Structure 1
Amino acid sequence: MAVYTEVSLDEASTFLSSLQLGTLQTMEGCSGGIENTNYFVTTDQAPYVLTLFERLTAQQLPFYLRLMKHLAFHGIPVPDPAANRDGDVLHSLNGKPAAVVNRLKGKSELSPGVEHCRQVGAMLARMHLAGREFGMQQPNLRALPWWNETVPVVLPHLEAPQAALIQSELAYQNHVAAQSAYAALPRGAIHADLFRDNVMFETLDGEPRLSGFFDFYFAGTDTWLFDLAVCLNDWCIDLPTGRADLERSRAFVQAYESVRPLTAQERELLPAMLRAGALRFWLSRLWDWYLPREASMLKPHDPTHFERVLQQRIAHPLTLDTLMNPETQTA
Structure 2
Amino acid sequence: MAVFTEVPEDIARELLARLGLGELRELRGIQGGIENTNYFATTEHDGRPSHWVLTLFERLGHDQLPFYLHLMKHLASRGIPVPDPQADRAGDILHTVCGKPAAVVNRLPGHSELAPTAAHCASVGEMLARMHLAARGFDRSQPNLRGLAWWNETVPVVLPFVEPAQAALLRAELAFQNHVAASSAWAALPRGPVHADLFRDNVMFEDGALTGFFDFYFAGVDSWLFDLAVCLNDWCIDLASGAHDPVRFDAFVRAYARVRPLASAERQLLPAMLRAGALRFWVSRLWDFHLPREAALLKPHDPAHFERVLRGRIAHPVSA
Q: What interval of TM-score do these two structures reach, taking the shorter chain for normalisation?
A: over 0.9
1:180 aligns with 2:223: no
C-alpha distance in 2, partners of 1:26/1:239? 34
Aligned-pair distance for 1:284? 0.2
1:121 aligns with 2:137: no
1:239 aligns with 2:239: yes
C-alpha distance in 2, partners of 1:38/1:295? 11
C-alpha distance in 2, partners of 1:252/1:122? 8
1:155 aligns with 2:163: no
Match of 1:104 in 2: 108
Aligned-pair distance for 1:103? 0.3
1:193 aligns with 2:197: yes
How do residues 1-331 of structure 1 correspond to structure 2 at under 5 angstroms? 1-45=1-45, 46-203=50-207, 208-320=208-320
Match of 1:326 in 2: none
CA offsets 1:149-179 (integer angstroms, 9 cap, x no match) = 0000000001000000000000000000000
Which residue type is aligned with residue 262 of structure 1? L
RMSD: 0.5
Unaligned runs of 5+ in 2: none
CA offsets 1:254-279 (integer angstroms, 9 cap, x no match) = 00001000000000000000000000
**Number of equivalenced pairs:** 316
CA offsets 1:192-225 (integer angstroms, 9 cap, x no match) = 000000000001xxxx100000000000000000
C-alpha distance in 1, partners of 2:104/2:264? 41
C-alpha distance in 2, partners of 1:47/1:32? 19
Aligned-pair distance for 1:240? 1.3
Aligned-pair distance for 1:133? 0.6
SS at match of 2:230: helix
C-alpha distance in 2, partners of 1:244/1:232? 9
CA offsets 1:257-311 (integer angstroms, 9 cap, x no match) = 0100000000000000000000000000000000000001110000000000000
C-alpha distance in 2, partners of 1:242/1:313? 9
C-alpha distance in 1, partners of 2:168/2:241? 21
SS at match of 2:121: helix
Which residue type is aligned with residue 99 of structure 2? G
TM-score by length of 2: 0.98
C-alpha distance in 2, partners of 1:159/1:172? 20
SS at match of 1:254: helix
C-alpha distance in 2, partners of 1:147/1:65? 25
Aligned-pair distance for 1:243? 1.1
C-alpha distance in 1, partners of 2:286/2:257? 33
C-alpha distance in 2, partners of 1:162/1:278? 14
SS at match of 1:51: strand
TM-score by length of 1: 0.95
C-alpha distance in 2, partners of 1:240/1:315? 18
Match of 1:329 in 2: none
C-alpha distance in 1, partners of 2:306/2:165? 15
Which residue type is aligned with residue 16 of structure 1? L
CA offsets 1:53-105 (integer angstroms, 9 cap, x no match) = 00001000000000000000000000000011111110001100000000000
Aligned-pair distance for 1:239? 1.0
C-alpha distance in 1, partners of 2:92/2:81? 21
4+ residue runs over 6 A deviation: none
C-alpha distance in 2, partners of 1:314/1:57? 36
SS at match of 1:44: strand
C-alpha distance in 1, partners of 2:318/2:262? 15
C-alpha distance in 2, partners of 1:241/1:50? 35
